[in-house]
Amino acid sequence: MSATLVSPKVFTSEFPTWCPSCGDFGVLRALQNAAAQLGLQPHDMVIVSGIGCSGKINSYFNCYGLHTLHGRALPVAQGVKLANPQLTVIASGGDGDGYGIGAGHFMHAVRRNVDVTYIVMDNQVYGLTKGQTSPTSPHGYSSTTTPGGSAEYPVRPLRVALANGVTWLAQGFSGDIKQLTALMVKAITHRGFSVLNVMSPCVTYRPSIADENGEKIGVFEWFRKHLVNLEAERDYRPTDRAAAFAQLMEHDDLVAGLIYEEDRPAYDGYLSGYTGRPMAELALPLDAGHLDQIAAQFR
């Protein structure tokens, strides 16, 4: 990372075609701000995205990008990082992409601890395909696929990450770009796998949520009212995994801020012979004698 200050505009690409007021606009702006504050350049970064509204973020952010298959952003992002550890690698996706079809990859990426930042835009619906129930939709949620209310209880990705040994975990809100930017800076600079779940409302298919008295209020207003800011908890220590679990249980996962962090060697720290150099710099030609030795093993 460079100490040279750059403008967030350096990371501006084509104009987003998300719905007006989509929460993903806040995620994009926070990521542009964070990259600028860290002095990164577009050629320093790769965003690997999945399928869904969130998957378009690498088209709107000026850097290298890979648009992968549904749920496959994490294995691709890990491969990119191990192949060229000098790059800042961001994996991005939505709750359906990451916690549905990609759930297995999520769990194993957590325990593997490759130095990748995973940003999940969690809107609790399948926004791209017109608002069906997603893995994080609340119990009883009514949609085109669950008109009588969802019988399933939601996936708890924050608790899954903690249970599988995540080394950095936070939750942000796209309605608070200042805090979200700060969390992204910390996530990117963390050495290891960092998970940043972002409550990123879908104003088209989930524009409002019922409050305690049954009255529906705007989805952004609902999250502002219900998210508990862990940074305001004076006695909270994000280095205590049990305390992190307790906070999530107490507040039904409706928290914002840094939840947990741990200093542990990243995946490459356990790889024998790993040089930390890009693979392109390590390509060494084999002479005919070496090739003959290799071929002889298969005769």
Flag whether pLDDT at 10 surpasses 80.
yes
Q: Please check whether residue 2 lies inside any domain of the structure.
A: no
| pLDDT value of position 226 | 96
Q: Please check whether residue 21 lies inside any domain of the structure.
A: yes
Flag whether pLDDT at 286 surpasses 90.
no
Question: Does residue 87 sit in helix, strand or coil?
Answer: coil
Element (H, E) at 170: strand 168-173
Element (H, E) at 96: helix 95-96
- Comparing 283 with 22, which gets the higher pLDDT? 22
Dihedral (CA of 158, 69, 134, 31) sign: positive
Count of Cβ atoms closer than 10 Å to residue 88 Cβ: 20
Of the listed ranges 5-9, 177-181, 282-286, the one predicted with least confidence: 282-286
- Give the CATH number of the domain where residue 251 resides: 3.40.50.970
Q: Which of 241, 246, 247, 202 is nearest to 227 (CA)?
A: 247
Count of Cβ atoms closer than 10 Å to residue 49 Cβ: 26
What DSSP assignment string belongs to 194-236? EEEEEE---TTT--EEE-TTS-EEEHHHHHHHH-EEGGG-TT-
Residues 203-233 pLDDT 10s: 999 999 998 888 999 999 999 999 999 999 8
Dihedral (CA of 110, 112, 113, 114) sign: negative
Q: Please check whether residue 1 lies inside any domain of the structure.
A: no
How far, in Å, CA of 54 to CA of 67, rounded? 11
Of all residues in the chain, what percent carry a pLDDT higher than 90?
A: 83
Domain span holding position 92: 8-296
Flag whether pLDDT at 168 surpasses 90.
yes
Q: Is residue 121 very low, low, confident or very high in pLDDT (cuts 50, 70, 90)?
A: very high
* Number of domains into which the chain is organized: 1
Question: Does residue 158 sit in helix, strand or coil?
Answer: helix
The overall average pLDDT reported for the chain is 94
Q: Please check whether residue 255 lies inside any domain of the structure.
A: yes
| pLDDT value of position 214 | 87
Residues 18-56 pLDDT 10s: 999 999 999 999 999 999 999 999 999 999 999 999 999
- Comparing 131 with 34, which gets the higher pLDDT? 34
Q: Please check whether residue 3 lies inside any domain of the structure.
A: no
Q: Checking phi first, is residue 35 left (phi over 0); if not, alpha (psi -120 to 50) or beta?
A: alpha
Task: Name the packing angle between helices 103-112 and 73-83 (round to 10°).
Answer: 30
How far, in Å, CA of 136 to CA of 15, rounded? 28
Phi, psi of 65 (to 5 degrees): -150, 150
How far, in Å, CA of 229 to CA of 233, rounded? 7
How far, in Å, CA of 226 to CA of 210, rounded? 12
How far, in Å, CA of 34 to CA of 188, rounded? 9
The pairing of beta strand 45-49 with beta strand 64-67: parallel
Q: Give yes or no for a contact between 55 and 16, defined as CB atoms under 8 angstroms apart.
A: no
| pLDDT value of position 291 | 85
Instruction: Give me the long-range contacts of 287-295 (CB less than 8 A, separation at least 24).
Output: none
Instruction: State the Cα angle at 17 between 13 and 20, rounded to 5°.
Output: 120
Q: Is residue 146 very low, low, confident or very high in pLDDT (cuts 50, 70, 90)?
A: very high
How far, in Å, CA of 158 to CA of 66, rounded? 25
- The β-bridge partners of 94 are 121
Q: Is residue 93 very low, low, confident or very high in pLDDT (cuts 50, 70, 90)?
A: very high
| pLDDT value of position 3 | 54
- Tokens 């050629």 sit on residue: 43
For 6, counting Cβ atoms within 10 Å of its Cβ (0-12 exposed, 13-18 middle, 19+ buried), the class is middle
| pLDDT value of position 299 | 85
Average of per-residue pLDDT across 108-128: 96
Q: Give yes or no for a contact between 196 and 185, defined as CB atoms under 8 angstroms apart.
A: no
